[in-house]
Chain A
Amino acid sequence: MLPIIFVLPLLQLVILSNAATFEVQHIKFGFIDNDHSVSSRALIEKFQASTYFDVFTNFPSNSQASKAMLKGEIDVVLDIPQFFERDLQKEKQNHVGVTINAIDGAAAGVENVYITQIIQNYNQHLKVDLQQISDQKTQAIRIETIPLFWYNETLNYKTFMVPGILVLLVSMITLFLSGMNIVREKEIGTLEQINVTPIKKSQFIIGKLFPFWVIGMGLLTVGLLLAKVIFDVPMLGSLVLMYAYTSIYILVILGIGLFISNFTDTQQQAMFIAWFFVVIFILMSGLFTPIESMPPWAQLVTEFNPIKYYVEVMRMVMLKGSGFLDILPLLIKTLLYAIVMNGLAVWSYKKTT
């Protein structure tokens, strides 16, 4: 126990301080160049030169860009209108459309600032360039951005946070309940009595899981109702899909809980270890800080974080209205995770010592 008391918090200190960053980086950038002119390419180059933007995708049409954003492949779309260069030279001002995925309202705000800065910078250069070409006094040239915040138009913080916090509550309650459970029976001695009976390991584990699974689903139901009634959070996608995903997700958490329970001797130890995982899972879930901004090793760690998947699915289904095929990759990963964790839970529960 003593090593655990020291090692686990220090591990958290190192991992979380490095990984849970509020900086917004690695913004996935897409653009639609309807102009194909020197000016439009120069503008795009400005974005490419910035260290904040990654993954440059050139979309031939608006609808393809929208689809990519729905799937979460891009965060920002820059839409350069036709005759961008011509209008710029004639009218000395122009507009470009910017669409930002605003499910994470805080990150969307930051992204908007980055974009505005880059375009202002571009304006400055244009001014200089044009002045060199013509002798006559040039009017100031201005390109304005018209930002559109998708999936959360008003950058409402609650719209963004409520689904995520609901995820945390469902996860924490079910993890703690299942983590405390077998170890509690060890403490009061009923586990020994159970071990002397011919009950099968899988029967025992299912019997242990089922009540908590029901509690988790109940929590989701109450939570969704409150989200609607108090915070008026939209529910764009299918409720059935939400429940279907949650029913598998809870199995992952319960498997982890029972696994912890099997390896600990007292409820205190189980609580301590469950907390360790909960803190890491929460801070590396993408709920408070964007996962894209984390260093690659930390992003790899988040692949093992079930809460990350659930936050993503919850936001996709509730705020974007994503369908079955959109969340299918996440669903498959979650299902595999559930099978592995529950397999481990059954395996690590030993009736004989």
Chain B
Amino acid sequence: MEHNKVIQVTHLTKTFGDFTAVNAISFEVEKGEIFGFLGANGAGKTTAMKMLIGISTPTSGKARVAGFDVFTHAEDIKRNIGYMSQKFALYDDLTVKENITFFGGIYGLSRKQIREKSALLIDELGLEKVAHSLVGALPLGWKQKLSFSVSLIHDPKIVFLDEPTGGVDPIARRQFWEMIYKAANRGTTVFVTTHYMDEAEYCDRVSIMVNGRIEALDTPKKLKEQFKAANMNDVFLKLARG
């Protein structure tokens, strides 16, 4: 089923001068899948992700995201994806509601849709009390959940999460993953990078990048069998150490 492949990547490469940050990676992601994109710091995860979300032009290779080519239709891709960066990127000096309205507006939602969405979203996150406070004043865990919800405001086909739970406490992380599952159940494909190996266990499939290449790609269960490891942490260590 070709149309079920929402991300198709073949030999995708990005070089900066002599340095090859992403070295001919190939993989596919299916609709509704939670795809874990793992790798050590500097392995090339963020660079690869930036090519897929259309803010970095690949040096060579092919990639289609949500049915559009990353070389020629980057703006169409942007209409169909959500993105949450590792750096909190809502406007600190706008209120919760203003941020929702602003990003809703950018994605072309009508006033009515924005009203409904923001009511729903604030209710789901339990942010009624702080709906009119500046986002900058919220605790990090709340910010991340809000940021994730805002990245889903236009019902994207795929949502890209770049280390979404960095620096967040275990309870908030747990809640965050519940939100990810909810989104996946609604049919949204989730593409997530993380450093937490327990989170990798939650993913449907996991790829592990080492020095710009994808060294392993399978379900967490099969990867553990393949590397004869008790958990994903050991799998990762075996790969990363070479």
Contact = CB atoms under 8 A, between A and B. Distances in A.
B148 interface: no
Nearest to B51: A352
Given A197-B106, A198-B75, A198-B78, A189 B55 contact: no
B71 to A, nearest CB: 10
A72 to B, nearest CB: 46
A188 interface: yes
B57 to A, nearest CB: 6
B143 to A, nearest CB: 12
Interface stretch (B84-92, B114-122, B215-223): B84-92
B79 interface: yes
Nearest to B75: A198
A193 interface: yes
A69 B153 CA distance: 63
B98 to A, nearest CB: 13
B133 interface: no
Nearest to B80: A198
B91 A353 contact: no
B27 interface: no
A96 B90 CA distance: 73
Contacts of A351: 54-55, 74
Contacts of B85: 189, 192-193
A1 B78 CA distance: 33
Contacts of B90: 190, 193
A199 B106 contact: yes
A190 B57 CA distance: 20
A192 B89 contact: yes
A198 B88 contact: no
Task: Give the bracket for the number of chain B residues in contact with chain A.
Answer: 20 to 34
Contacts of A352: 54-57, 74
A97 B92 CA distance: 67
B206 interface: no
A194 B57 CA distance: 17
Contacts of A195: 55
Interface string B19-60: 000000000000000000000000000000000011111000
A353 B50 CA distance: 9
A190 B107 contact: no
A196 interface: yes
Nearest to A353: B56
A351 to B, nearest CB: 6
A172 to B, nearest CB: 23
Nearest to B86: A189
A353 B74 CA distance: 12
B137 to A, nearest CB: 15
Given A189-B89, A192-B87, A198 B55 contact: no
Contacts of A194: 106
Contacts of A193: 83, 85, 89-90
Nearest to B89: A193
A195 B78 CA distance: 9
A188 B78 contact: no
B227 interface: no
Contacts of B54: 196, 351-352
A196 B75 CA distance: 8
A199 B81 CA distance: 13
B190 to A, nearest CB: 16
9 contacts: A192-B89, A195-B55, A196-B81, A197-B106, A198-B75, A198-B76, A198-B106, A198-B108, A352-B56
Q: Which 10 A-B pairs have the closest CB atoms?
A: A189-B87, A193-B89, A196-B83, A198-B79, A198-B78, A189-B89, A197-B106, A195-B55, A199-B106, A190-B89
Given A189-B85, A196-B54, A198-B79, 19 more contacts: A188-B87, A189-B88, A190-B89, A192-B55, A192-B85, A193-B83, A195-B55, A196-B53, A196-B55, A196-B81, A196-B83, A197-B103, A198-B76, A198-B107, A199-B106, A351-B74, A352-B54, A352-B56, A353-B57
Interface of B: 53-57, 74-76, 78-79, 81, 83, 85, 87-92, 103, 106-108
